[in-house]
Amino acid sequence: MSWQTPSDLKYARTDEYVRLEGDRATIGLSDYAQDQLNDVVFVELPEVGAHFEKGKPFGAVESVKAASDLLMPVGGTVVEINEQLTDEPELLNSSPYDKGWIIKIQVDDASEAGSLMDADAYTEYCNTR
């Protein structure tokens, strides 16, 4: 199998990606993760303004057969949530890196992203699972 792993993103072992843009970041779920989950039927989103540390759950995704927590790849404060996912959770499947983004945050400390994988490392990681 092959999955898209855009090279401008960083990836967590729990399959969240982060797109860093200065002190802002966009967080979503990788193509590999959406493929494993199959049809996503529900996304639980946090409230704007909520603060989460790195590694803490900020929401959850559900498919018919599985549910998994969404963990913060880096700590930060939620500044925007993708409300379109409430009505169209399938965007997570059809467009994980674009229309299917989940939250945007104000990053606490961008150096926290240092421990995340780059695209090559993440591709390798997915292939060995």
**Binding residues for other proteins restricted to 66-125, rule: CB under 8 A:** 66-67, 69, 89
Helix H or strand E encompassing 92: helix 91-94
- Look at residues 63, 49, 59 and name the one whose alpha carbon lies nearest to residue 27: 59
Answer for the pair 120, 81: CB distance below 8 angstroms, yes or no: no
In the structure encoding, which two tokens stand for residue 36, read together?
A: 């494993």
b/e code 48-83 from CB counts within 10 Å (16+ = b) = eeeebebeeebbebbbeeeebebbbbbbbebeebbe
Q: Is residue 62 close enough to count as binding other proteins by CB under 8 A?
A: yes
Closest distance of CB 98 from other proteins, Å: 21
Closest distance of CB 44 from other proteins, Å: 8
Owner of token pair 């790849």: 73
Closest distance of CB 67 from other proteins, Å: 3
Nearer to other proteins, 86 or 115 (CB): 86
Give the range of 11-19, 21-29, 61-69, 71-79 binding other proteins by CB under 8 A.
Answer: 61-69
Closest distance of CB 64 from other proteins, Å: 4
Q: Is residue 63 close enough to count as binding other proteins by CB under 8 A?
A: yes
Q: Is residue 28 close enough to count as binding other proteins by CB under 8 A?
A: no
In the structure encoding, which two tokens stand for residue 109, read together?
A: 């400390």
In the structure encoding, which two tokens stand for residue 19, read together?
A: 């797109």
Number of residues located near other proteins, criterion CB under 8 A: 12
Chain residues in the site for other proteins (CB under 8 A): 39, 41-42, 44, 62-67, 69, 89
